[in-house]
Chain A
């Protein structure tokens, strides 16, 4: 490849190679729909690049995440894990490359089927758990109080609690956040560092809950740097470093347990 050519031109060469390989893709305006007879993935990433000024957070991520599986994304701080998750969630647009979620590149259209959780609780501190959930349920057009109560019970908490969420422990808050994320029965669940600052007991409970959700047929992607907690339920682990995927394994192999998760 001619190094003197400007980066833009170099990319054009690359993308034509990729599009011939992915001939299953058909175009309609700007939305690309995947032909499911060939492709199984819940999430399809094609050479995703994301720059922040001079810093390249994602440097060409290509991956296919199967549906109905629990994928764990591991890696040190600064590897680009959170950035990747935000791109998949549709919160961050990639500088280049294609992201297809649940069969379409129009991420807005699949929003009702995607749930998101971060290490920040994504809740209002001054509202109680039920009030929080009822509000977020309304955003999805759900006005059924019972469903909210059920979601809270399913994470092991009492919906009758009127205490403000700001007064909960971190473990409880993350549970409520998980309840919020699954309230609308999403097919795809994205979690970004859900266990940080959470006590081990709650973390293990949550991991078990996630495994149960995967068994119900949901696709789950968890970004974490605490591999040990996810080990019992993980189907696949993806290791990232410096904005690239460096390994993809079934489950979480022992050598990863050793290197990922000792530090916070």
Chain B
């Protein structure tokens, strides 16, 4: 099934290029922060894409626990991994933005901190996947993923409240409120571009995972002689 990959790859390329143009050229320069603000067009869409991927991971985990379909579990792994990557992008672009503008590398503002906690939760999911022994890992990891996602609204609420109690500088200003329409347009284009790109990468990772499992299963089925079995085990 090569076709989806080619279509997605070309679409990603086109959209990302257009998004780049939108973000770097077409969008107007921000009044107070200058050119540095353009990182916003990478920072925010990455966050949305990461969140969407984690949501897909949540659904896949529930589905896996109900139906035990190994392909669904492969999707869960893929979305978690790519989601963590996009989350990392958010956490890296945040300081890159904050430093020139406010002179500080990190601020424990609500959005950035929430993203950090999200990152921690899903990295712990990947660690569990890595260190789980044997066939039970998908089930245990799915349970963790469900807990992790249920936690997300609590994370946001708690950090937000904490920040209203103890205010700090906010990276990125408003969440699109009071944002110039041309900026909003650039933001949306980049969101679509990142989304299509994420789908491409998730699809590739999913295929890889399914292939790996198939190889394992074939090894197990094929192992006929004791010597072969010992070599493969």
A and B found bound together: yes
**Which residues does A use to contact B, with CB under 8 Å?**
6-7, 51-56, 95, 242
From 175 to 233 in chain B, residues with beta carbon under 8 angstroms from any chain A beta carbon are 214, 216-221, 223, 226, 229, 232-233
How many of B's residues come within 8 Å of A, CB to CB? 14
Measured CA separation A52–B133 after assembly (Å) = 10
Closest to B214 in A: A6
**A55 / chain B contacts, CB cutoff of 8 Å:** 220, 223, 229, 232-233
CB distance from B69 to the nearest CB of A (A): 12
Q: Cβ of B103 < 8 Å from any Cβ of A?
A: no
Closest to B231 in A: A54
A54 contacts B214, CB within 8 Å? no
**B223 / chain A contacts, CB cutoff of 8 Å:** 54-56
Interface centre among A52, A54, A242 (most CB of B within 10 A): A54
A56 contacts B220, CB within 8 Å? yes
CB distance from A261 to the nearest CB of B (A): 21
B226 contacts A242, CB within 8 Å? yes
A54 contacts B219, CB within 8 Å? yes
**A242 / chain B contacts, CB cutoff of 8 Å:** 226, 229
Q: Cβ of B134 < 8 Å from any Cβ of A?
A: yes
B229 contacts A52, CB within 8 Å? no
Measured CA separation A103–B168 after assembly (Å) = 67
CB distance from A4 to the nearest CB of B (A): 12
B220 contacts A54, CB within 8 Å? yes
Closest to A60 in B: B221
Closest to A57 in B: B220
Measured CA separation A55–B228 after assembly (Å) = 10
A7-B216 in contact given A55-B229, A55-B232, A242-B226 (Cβ < 8 Å): no
A7 contacts B217, CB within 8 Å? yes
A51-B232 in contact given A56-B223, A242-B226 (Cβ < 8 Å): no
B221 contacts A7, CB within 8 Å? yes
Q: A55-B232, A55-B233 are in contact. List 18 more A-B contacts (CB 8 A).
A: A6-B214, A7-B217, A7-B221, A51-B216, A51-B217, A51-B220, A52-B134, A52-B135, A53-B216, A54-B219, A54-B232, A54-B233, A55-B220, A55-B223, A56-B220, A56-B223, A95-B135, A242-B226
Measured CA separation A6–B216 after assembly (Å) = 13
7 contacts between A and B (CB under 8 A): A6-B214, A7-B218, A54-B220, A54-B223, A55-B220, A55-B232, A55-B233
**A52 / chain B contacts, CB cutoff of 8 Å:** 134-135
CB distance from A35 to the nearest CB of B (A): 28
**B229 / chain A contacts, CB cutoff of 8 Å:** 55-56, 242
B134 contacts A53, CB within 8 Å? yes
CB distance from A14 to the nearest CB of B (A): 12
Measured CA separation A262–B71 after assembly (Å) = 46
CB distance from A234 to the nearest CB of B (A): 27
**A6 / chain B contacts, CB cutoff of 8 Å:** 214
**B220 / chain A contacts, CB cutoff of 8 Å:** 51, 53-56
Closest to A10 in B: B221
**B219 / chain A contacts, CB cutoff of 8 Å:** 54
Measured CA separation A184–B9 after assembly (Å) = 63
